[in-house]
Amino acid sequence: MFLQLNAFNIKRSVPEVRNRTLPVYLNRGYTDEDVITYTLPDNVQTEFIMPQSKNLKSPFGEYISKTSVDGKKLTYYRKLVLNEGTFPAESYEAFAKFVGDVNSADYLKLALSLKK
């Protein structure tokens, strides 16, 4: 059984652009912090759930996600900080990669095993 941990707040990717001439302008920095707690049914084996964590850091911001299990409670924590500012046009590729990596991490699915 697969569970998409972050089903509510997914960062969209940005288009790939070549030969950008204008600077990257992020006019509004922000912080998104989410905690989602799932109550697992009795027929799920919790001892095989491996906590997933992801840490990304760049001049554009920071992304952290963690998963933990305590008994039948599965907790997913996600924090995205996007820094405001003006960045050189050459940095757009790095910005697109950062946002793409955040998008990939947001689509993380956890495989759950059922008891037999």
Domain segments of the chain as ranges: 2-8+30-111
What CATH fold (topology level) applies to the domain 2-8+30-111? Answer: Jelly Rolls (2.60.120)
The residue count of the chain comes to 116
Residues in a beta bridge with 53: 66
CB 72, CB 34: distance < 8 Å? no
Strands, E assignment, the chain: 2-4, 24-26, 30-39, 53-58, 61-70, 73-82, 85-87, 109-111
Distance (Å, whole) CA 105 – CA 11? 9
- For the chain, 116 residues long, give each residue's pLDDT as a single digit of tens: 788 888 787 888 888 888 889 999 999 999 999 999 999 888 887 766 666 789 999 999 999 999 988 888 999 999 999 999 999 999 999 999 999 999 988 888 888 888 77
